Amino acid sequence: MTGLHPRSRDGPAAGLTHRLERHGTVLLLGLSGRLAAPDAVTVRSLLLRSLGEFPTALVVDLSELQADDESGLLAIPAALRDAAGWPAVPVLVAVPDPRLLARLRALPFNQPPRWFSTRAQALAGAAAASERDRVTTTLGASPQAPAQARAMLQRACQDWRLTELAPAAEVILSELTANAVVHARSAMRVTIQRTPTALLLVVRDADPSPPRQRSLPPAGYPVDNGNGLQLVAAFASDWGTMPTVDGKAVWARIDLGEARDGAIPDQPARIP
């Protein structure tokens, strides 16, 4: 277990503290102290950034939380709604206080998390999240990063018998890793995951600035390397970005049975 932040104060001076811990590939977000209405923005941000880390599961520990009213609590379903387009991360909530649990259950969740009465039970439930269908690695901000990411992708697609998705996925992953090298200039964490319905590609880096998708040039002009996100949009079923604890994550999804031809005007960008 590694603490990302042992315990830190965040947001208005309402007594709210938080901690982030890694338990293998599971991330735990603990909220402690008194939660008041002004803390809603802080709670929403913490939840979104924790989900952006793309753990195999997120445990939200409310064992030491007191809530004055529903305004602060509403940030929890609001954050999960905001993250609805993000690749699915199971959310498990530890709530020992039955009165607080009843109040949480009454909130407008699109898809309620799994509830547990203790932190240990929630962590045990999170540990059951399968890592079999996920591969991940850390790459440096070097020109070799796109090729290294493609090699990992090729092995995964072979193992998962998804070779028909490999060409489109290679284009997407090349662009996402090249963007991290050129713009973030930081080490990156590359994750490839298979779900029952899709292949997910996630690249996390240390630059919090979201990527900007440039417009395609007029007809007859080549698509250059500054238009890489147009390639991502052309080959992916969907893509987007999420804040993380110390930067951002850019993700793309290719639905199974939907290998995109990625048709765009003129020739594609040169892949590093």
pLDDT digit string, tens, across residues 163-200: 999 999 999 999 999 999 988 899 999 999 998 899 99
Which of 17-26, 129-138, 148-157, 169-178 shows the lowest per-residue confidence on average (mean pLDDT)? 129-138
Is residue 182 within 8 Å of 227, Cβ to Cβ? no
pTM: 0.81
Residue 66 pLDDT:
94
Which burial class, exposed, middle or buried, applies to 126 when counting CB atoms under 10 A from its CB (0-12, 13-18, 19+)?
buried
Sheet holding 188-194, edge to edge: 134-139, 188-194, 198-205, 248-255, 238-243
pLDDT 10s digits, 57-112:
999 999 999 998 899 999 999 999 999 889 889 999 999 999 999 999 999 999 89
Which of 22-31, 53-62, 136-145, 212-221 shows the lowest per-residue confidence on average (mean pLDDT)? 212-221
Residue 113 pLDDT:
95
Average pLDDT of span 208-228: 56
Residue with tokens 């893509």: 239
Position 227 confidence tier, pLDDT thresholds 50, 70, 90: low
Position 19 confidence tier, pLDDT thresholds 50, 70, 90: very high
Percentage helix, strand, coil for the chain under 3-state DSSP, each rounded to 5: 35, 30, 35
Position 261 confidence tier, pLDDT thresholds 50, 70, 90: low
Q: Which of 87, 33, 103, 24 is nearest to 61 (CA)?
A: 33
For the chain, give the mean pLDDT: 85
Is residue 122 within 8 Å of 128, Cβ to Cβ? no
Token representation of residue 201: 């590609």
Please check the confidence at residue 4 and state whether its pLDDT lies above 80.
no
